[in-house]
Every structure is written in C-alpha cells, then in structure tokens.
Structure 1
Amino acid sequence: MFAATFLWIALLQYVWLGVQRAEPYPALILPGFPAHCPGCLLETGEPSTKEPELIVRFADGRTQRVPMDTVLPPGPSVRLIAFSAAFTDGSFASNPDARAWLRSRIDQRFPGQPVSGLDIVWRTATYPAADASSVEYGPPKTVHVDLGGAQ
C-alpha cells in the first residue's frame, strides 16, 4: 500500500510539473538546471573561451608579444581563470597599485628596458570541431594599461 501511494504521489508531481512548468519544493524529484546564458556550451553545443594576448609597449615604440606567465607565475590551468577575473575589464587600469604590480612583473622580464604600457587583447575563441585548427575568433577587445607613471 505504501509503495502504491508513493508512486501515485510521484506521478501526480510529474503531471503537476508538466502543467505548471515549475518544481514544487521540497519534492521527490530534483529541479533541472537549464542553461540560460547566451553562448553557454549547453545552448550552443560548441565550447568557447576568452583568450588573452599580452603586448608590451616599450618607450622607444617597440612592441613585443609575451606569454601570460610574464604577468602571472607558472602554475596550473587556473592561471587563465585568475587572469580573466582580474584583467578582463579595464577597471584595474585606474588602480595605481595594480599598475605598479604589473610594471614590476614586466620589469622582471625585461630588466633595463623602459616599458611604457601593456595591451591585453581579449578574443573569444570558439571551437566548432575537435580539430584545433578550426578555431574561430570573435572581434578583439583591447584593454590599454599605461605603465609610464607606475613606479
């Protein structure tokens, strides 16, 4: 008798869920977790990520592309997450302490060479196939950081 009652309650929940399109709480079934974010893997079926490219600007006008570990020390794959969280928007560029820290990291890489700035070029990379050569890049967004005044 208990099993039959339990099954009827579960069945009624599924019927009610189908009509209401909402999950009663607490319930015998767990709520679903649909992706409601544009560009998410669950919506598009194609993985994508933001990739940074760092370009150091020197006082004499030269530029040089450098790897991300120029700014962050080598480490596990969470480096990209940490870098993205800190440097995606330009808000850090107005913070003198952040600029001084960036300058100190770049000065370690290029001792004795006067650095005037850093450009962080963010591009969205989409991987439509498992083949790495089929990467599609979206339009870049550049964050300019003036390091001339940060000492």
Structure 2
Amino acid sequence: MFWSPQSVRRLVLGVMVVLVLQYALVGIVGVVLREPWPTLVLPAFQNVWDGDDELAVPRARLIAISSDSTSFEVPVDAVWSAVPTSQQAGFLREQCRPQTLSGTPRTERCTLPEARAWMRTQLQDRYPLHQIERLDVVWEEVFFNVNERTTAQAPRAQPTDTLRVPL
C-alpha cells in the first residue's frame, strides 16, 4: 500500500510543525510590523489600528429647533428609545443619513411623512414645554488621535452634512 502508517505519521507531524512555525512567524511579524494577513491562521479580529495617527469615526447628533428659534441637543434615546443603544448608530446611518453622504436617497427614510409624525409625537412627549418645528440630524467626523507617543488629546469633531427633518 502506498500510505503506510509510518508515512502518515510523518505527514501529520510535518503539517503540525509547519502550522506551529507559521503561527510563530505571524506573531513575530505582527509585533515588528503590522498584523499580517494569514496564510493558514485566521485573523484574530482584534482592535489593531492599521493606519495613520488619527482615526475618523462618523457620528450623528440630533438638534431640535423650536418655534422661537432656540435649539438644543436631543439624545438619541429621546426619539428612538426602542432601538437598543448598540444599534442606534447603525439605525441612524441607514435611516437618517443625507443622500450627499450615502449616495442613495434610501438613507433619508426619516423624512417620510409617517416617520416625521412619529418623531414629532416622541419629541412632544419628551419635551412638552417646547414647540419643536424641526429636527436636524448633524453628521460629523470625530477624529481621535491614536498615536501612542503623544499625550491624550480630546477628540475633535468636524461637521460633514446635515439632514433637516421638518416636523
């Protein structure tokens, strides 16, 4: 027979040695350089930053505009309390993002009449002393300095666009 038990053992042992060496090589290269893409080992999907010294994260802020032209920031929970906190950013990105940022009008669903009426009801229940006429969804890029060699700095925000939702 072509595959004797001894040759199978050698093959399995050889593969195991190669896997251990490959795993060690990935660890060494990951410490010295950046996390390499694996050949036989799947990525760890860790929070390994692989880029410049700044990390830009999109964020949406809700600004309510009253009939007397006063404005105030509204927590996302005030309008969408039924949406879990962990999913609110994704919800806003898919429902209340301007077409200029997303490239499609499908992300402006919160401007539909039914959605506007629902948001108006939510805001009236939460803020009964204010006559809110408009809700602005202000999108901004928040920049975090992720360079370990510098001292901690407060993140800076740069507005990118606003979706105005008349209520």
Residues 77-136 of structure 1, C-alpha deviations (whole Å, 9 max, x = no match): 333333333322361244111111111111112225322111111111121147764313
Deviation at 1:44, TM superposition (A): 4.1
Contact 1:52-1:120 within 8 A present in 2 as well: yes
Residues 4-15 of structure 1: pairs in structure 2 closer than 5 A: 4-5=10-11, 7=14
Counterpart in 2 of 1:120?
A: 137
Contact 1:51-1:122 within 8 A present in 2 as well: yes
Counterpart in 1 of 2:25?
A: none
> 2 CA distance for matches of 1:65 and 1:2?
68
Verify: 1:146 aligned to 2:163, yes or no.
no
Verify: 1:108 aligned to 2:128, yes or no.
no
Change (3 A) 1:60 1:134: closer
Contact 2:95-2:110 within 8 A present in 1 as well: no
> 1 CA distance for matches of 2:71 and 2:95?
23
Contact 2:145-2:153 within 8 A present in 1 as well: no
In structure 2, give the amino acid aligned to 1:102.
Answer: M
Verify: 1:136 aligned to 2:156, yes or no.
yes
> 1 CA distance for matches of 2:133 and 2:110?
13
Counterpart in 2 of 1:64?
A: 72
In structure 2, give the amino acid aligned to 1:123.
Answer: E
Residues 11-22 of structure 1: pairs in structure 2 closer than 5 A: none
Count of paired positions: 129
Q: Structure 1 residues 75-84 or 97-106, which shifts more?
A: 75-84
Change (3 A) 1:43 1:141: same
Q: Secondary structure at the match of 1:60?
A: coil
Deviation at 1:143, TM superposition (A): 0.9
Contact 1:93-1:146 within 8 A present in 2 as well: no
Residues 35-85 of structure 1, C-alpha deviations (whole Å, 9 max, x = no match): xxxxx9444465432222211111222222222222122854333333333
Residues 21-40 of structure 1: pairs in structure 2 closer than 5 A: 29=40
TM-score of the superposed pair, with normalisation by structure 1: 0.62
> 1 CA distance for matches of 2:156 and 2:50?
18
Aligned-pair identity (%): 20
> 2 CA distance for matches of 1:139 and 1:85?
18
Counterpart in 2 of 1:92?
A: 109
